[in-house]
Structure 1
């Protein structure tokens, strides 16, 4: 649901979007949280957030292995921040979504056929 939500909101003019990593309601498992952080760190809006009366949704709350997975995902995001900022500038000036669906790609690009 996260992918379709982010893509659809972007197409409708809301470039700053992303799910609550780990889910807002209920408790995530360490494996789910780590995987969600891996992909969630690439969404335009990236945050861990949850409702009251749930377990903590911070990477260190799920053990060392999950913390390391989350650390690597966030390092990747920080490395890509100049590109992400450029995408936000383009969204501001031209209206293109930050997270673009595949049909925005150039069909002549040979990388799409791999």
Structure 2
């Protein structure tokens, strides 16, 4: 099965307690596959969080997606006791997101 890393590069950052993940598809074909298969619901399930915590924003100028996962950083940089309060390593987790085959039309 294909994973997100096969089609895109991921960068991570934070805004308070929200994890921000930018997904940069390698080409137009990859963008189309990710548009269909990298959904808010799949990302939420992959991170084991409530689907309402995940928002996907399409960035049309740079042809990318930004996922905002609210409340997943355990309080953020100043409030978290975890080693990775910025969530930088979580970009690797998103890169392992399985992308099932396209649904027949």
Question: Quick check: TM above 0.5?
Answer: no
Larger relative contact order (CA 8 Å, sep ≥ 6):
2
Higher normalized strand content (fraction of residues): 2
Rg larger in structure: 1
Higher normalized helix content (fraction of residues): 1
What is the TM-score with the length of structure 2 in the denominator?
A: 0.31
